[in-house]
């Protein structure tokens, strides 16, 4: 038997995506013509009558197209699968989208995120996700933007995805907010896009927000990475962006790394901006400021705010800075400066891409460090970004680590649980937000957990709480997982997450050396484990392979070491 290639001219029956949609619905579609020289076409019908169409002749990348339905009814979106590929299709009502979110109508199979019933971590509706961006409260709602490629679970030219929440946990997906430049949007070649950044509210009584982001374009001269700003008046649509930092500071020997602008109000009332970079010695954080109340123009370079040379030539990424224990204008207020170190390696444990938190005082020009600690000993809470909400600083991170990325493994990831930041007993604590207790559905019977018996964990979306009789008492929780050997352990060396996967090279040692907590709080979900000891004094996050939950748990501990144990079934 011989095979014959299908040409665009071959007749194949149309495929249809159907939904009942209201009058005025806006449709966002990404379409591609898989054969060069052909035209891809998606036609909309309402109750059988034509209601508009979109086309593309691009065989390389899915192109964004928009339709507005003049009337409501039974909608059908028809296309020929030989000449047209549809990646993502969703609908929304512009005036109600902040309350209702979007309605996903179609996503191609290879880009769909996995089905994870009962999961309570934020994930996109399709494709790839990494760094959180522009995390903050605007228009009374919590907004989360994030690095996103909607058409595949692999990294590619970057967009900003967007979601809103009332409580940090229940998120409504919104239309994609920021797109790669027109030049980059034509090719699926991973050359760059709208990289990470931050957001602030527009000044005074103005509604909306201003974003800051890095545009990356590989091999562009003289700068691959430059900084842009743009505004959104309705919190959904973004206006054209303006270039604000076209070049790196001269004379400092910086590499082409120049990214992730984080803007915040300083002690002197001026807007400040942190930008991450590196030189031949290590990671560098640059400080800028502007006198412009709108933060739109006039950005001036003040100097190097901080550097980290202990891990070699590593880039400081995703810097952020928040006041911890007082108002921004109080000189006694202590600030947390948090940043990731791309390619860093801890020689003692083998962990990669460490995130550091430096705590000290900031006068608007200089930062005086008082102490430093790792933000997360599991290292899978990367690109952490925080802002000051009503009750204090709150942050969130990408629940992954770049060492897990490969061409062989698809990796649709999640965000961590949102975490508070505070000072307690001379340390920075990062416990989960109080709202996580609303996830508790019912207690699971711990049965013989304290006697060393195996306890089933249903779908694996659970919270486990251990209270030790004395601080530092040894124990080991072993979890049954289909693709990894994983545990949480406390011994004389400290608190650790022993972890390994079959046929993998030696795993790093995920440990908070010397930790001696008395309470342990563990959140398990499909694809993740988060440990908060002594109210987040020691926090460890580990991405677990696949999307099946941990099935059961066993406790091993000397008699009397563990005073009490609870297990809660969780769900949104």
pLDDT of 2 reads: 33
| Gap between the Cα atoms of 559 and 561, Å rounded | 6
Q: List the 242-245 sheet strands across, edge first.
A: 192-201, 209-217, 225-232, 242-245
- Helix, strand or coil, per DSSP, at residue 217: strand
In the prediction, which pLDDT does 405 show?
A: 75
Q: Residue 526 pLDDT > 50, yes or no?
A: yes
Element (H or E) spanning 315, and its range? strand 315-323
pLDDT above 80 (res 10): no
Calculate what percentage of the chain has a pLDDT beyond 90.
89
Q: Convert the pLDDT of each residue in 29-58 to its tens digit.
A: 999 999 998 999 999 999 999 999 999 999
pLDDT for residue 281: 93
What does the pLDDT look like over 74-101, one tens digit per residue?
A: 999 999 999 999 999 999 999 999 999 9
Give the H/E segment covering residue 182. helix 182-185
- Which among 78, 32, 25, 80 is positioned nearest to 55, based on CA atoms? 32
pLDDT in tens, 115-138: 888 899 999 999 999 999 999 999
Sign of CA dihedral 107, 113, 115, 119: negative
Rounded Cα gap, residues 72 and 546, in angstroms: 40
Average pLDDT over the chain, rounded to an integer: 94
Confidence of residue 358 (pLDDT cuts 50, 70, 90): very high
CA distances from 93 to 24, 49, 170, 275, 501 (A): 7, 21, 20, 37, 45
How many residues does this entry show for the chain?
Answer: 572
> pLDDT value at position 410?
56
Q: In b/e form, how buried is each residue of 405-416, taking b as 16+ CB within 10 angstroms?
A: eeeeeebbbbbb
State residue 407's pLDDT score.
Answer: 60
Close Cβ partners of 4 (under 8 Å, ≥ 6 residues apart):
none
pLDDT in tens, 254-283: 999 999 999 999 999 999 999 999 999 999
The confidence band for 544, taking pLDDT boundaries of 50, 70 and 90, is: very high
Name the residue with tokens 């919270």. 463
Q: Which tens digits make up the pLDDT trace of 141-193?
A: 999 999 999 999 999 999 999 999 999 999 999 999 999 999 899 999 999 99
Q: What is the pLDDT of residue 41?
A: 97
**The predicted structure's pLDDT at residue 207:** 86
Averaged pLDDT, 322-334: 96
pLDDT band for 546, please (50, 70, 90 cuts): confident
pLDDT in tens, 287-322: 999 999 999 999 999 999 999 999 989 999 999 999
pLDDT for the residue 204? 83
- Residue 309: the pLDDT is 94
Per-residue pLDDT for 4 more than 50?
no
Say what the pLDDT of residue 7 is: 43
pLDDT grade for 479, boundaries at 50, 70 and 90: very high
Predicted pLDDT at 8? 41
Q: What is the pLDDT of residue 502?
A: 78
pLDDT at 205: 77
């Amino acid at each position: 038997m011989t095979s014959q290639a299908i040409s665009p001219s071959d007749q194949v029956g149309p495929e249809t995506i159907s939904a009942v949609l209201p009058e005025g619905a806006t449709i966002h579609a990404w379409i591609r013509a898989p054969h060069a020289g052909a035209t891809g076409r998606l036609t909309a019908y309402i109750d059988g009558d034509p209601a508009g169409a979109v086309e593309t002749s691009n065989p390389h990348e899915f192109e964004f197209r928009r339709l507005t339905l003049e009337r409501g009814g039974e909608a059908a979106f028809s296309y020929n699968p030989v000449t047209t590929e549809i990646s993502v299709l969703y609908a929304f009502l512009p005036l109600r989208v902040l309350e209702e979110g979007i309605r996903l109508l179609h996503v191609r199979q290879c880009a769909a995120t996995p089905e994870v019933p009962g999961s309570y971590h934020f994930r996109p509706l399709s494709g790839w996700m990494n760094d959180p961006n522009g995390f903050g409260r605007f228009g009374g709602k919590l907004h989360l933007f994030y690095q996103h490629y909607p058409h595949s679970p692999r990294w590619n030219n970057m967009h900003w995805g967007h979601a809103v929440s009332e409580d940090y946990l229940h998120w409504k997906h919104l239309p994609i907010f920021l797109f790669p430049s027109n030049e980059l949007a034509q090719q699926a070649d991973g050359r760059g896009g709208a990289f990470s950044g931050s957001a602030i509210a527009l000044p005074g009584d103005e509604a909306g927000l201003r974003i800051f982001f890095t545009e990356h374009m590989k091999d562009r001269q003289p700068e691959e990475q430059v900084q842009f700003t743009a505004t959104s008046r309705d919190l959904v649509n973004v206006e054209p962006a303006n270039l604000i930092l076209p070049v790196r500071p001269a004379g400092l020997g910086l590499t082409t790394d120049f990214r992730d602008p984080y803007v915040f109000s300083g002690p002197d009332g001026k807007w400040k901006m942190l930008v991450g970079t590196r030189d031949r010695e290590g990671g560098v954080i640059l400080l800028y400021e502007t006198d412009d109340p709108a933060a739109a123009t006039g950005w001036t370079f003040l100097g190097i705010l901080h550097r980290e040379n202990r891990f070699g030539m590593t880039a400081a990424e995703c810097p952020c800075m928040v006041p911890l224990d007082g108002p921004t204008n109080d000189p006694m207020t202590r600030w947390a400066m948090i940043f990731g170190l791309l390619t860093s390696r801890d020689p003692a444990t083998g962990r990669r891409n460490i995130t550091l938190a430096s705590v000290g005082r900031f006068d608007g020009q200089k930062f005086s460090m008082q102490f430093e600690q790792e933000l997360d000993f599991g290292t899978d809470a990367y690109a952490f970004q925080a802002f000051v909400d009503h009750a204090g600083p709150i942050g969130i991170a990408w629940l992954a680590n770049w060492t897990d990325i490969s061409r062989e493994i698809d990796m649709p990831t999640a965000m961590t649980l949102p975490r508070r930041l505070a000072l307690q007993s001379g340390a920075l604590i990062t416990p989960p937000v109080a709202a996580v207790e609303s996830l508790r559905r019912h207690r699971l019977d711990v049965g013989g957990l304290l006697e060393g018996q195996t306890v089933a964990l249903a779908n694996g979306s659970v919270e486990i709480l251990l209270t030790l009789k004395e601080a530092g008492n040894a124990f080991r929780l072993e979890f049954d997982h289909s693709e990894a050997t994983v545990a949480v352990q406390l011994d004389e060396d400290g608190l650790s997450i022993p972890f390994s996967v079959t046929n993998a090279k030696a795993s790093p040692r995920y440990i908070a050396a010397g930790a001696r907590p008395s309470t342990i709080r563990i959140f398990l979900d499909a694809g993740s484990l988060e440990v908060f000891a002594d109210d987040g004094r020691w926090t460890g996050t580990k991405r677990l392979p696949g999307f099946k939950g941990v099935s059961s748990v066993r406790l091993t501990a000397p008699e009397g070491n563990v005073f009490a144990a609870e297990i809660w079934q969780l769900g949104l």
